[in-house]
Structure 1
Amino acid sequence: MQELAIGKPYRHLKVGYFRKRHEDRNTKIPKRYSVHAALSLKGDWLEKAGFTTHSRVRVGVEHGKIVIE
């Protein structure tokens, strides 16, 4: 694997959440909301690491780590 000069090799992020609205199919009135874990990655460092805008990525979980390829 090639080493990239992207400043900091690690970032400290916080897992947040997003709320999903579940609505009645006929009336479109919200019936309930559910909360799910979410992680947002953004910044110029992503492109410097090879993840350009609109590129497809593969995300997996291995040994308790999130792997993005």
Structure 2
Amino acid sequence: MDVAPMGGTAVQDHVALAEIELCGDLIIAASAARGERLSADRIDEVLKVSDGVDGGVGRDESRP
């Protein structure tokens, strides 16, 4: 059985790391809301999502 050598074999998935950071930001915002639900606008603010006017990502208007 081949085993990867120790040291220098770390693989970084930058997309996964960014998603984990965004989830952390949402968790922090939800904790700060003290039991109240985050509005769609607040979620967009936390995730740094624009309304699409300035060429940003935009958000799904079908989302509650």
TM-score tier (shorter) = under 0.3
> What TM-score, normalized to structure 1?
0.25
> What TM-score, normalized to structure 2?
0.26
Question: Which has a greater percent of helix?
Answer: 2
Tell me which of the two structures has the higher relative contact order, counting C-alpha pairs closer than 8 angstroms and 6 or more residues apart: 1
Question: Which has a greater percent of strand?
Answer: 1
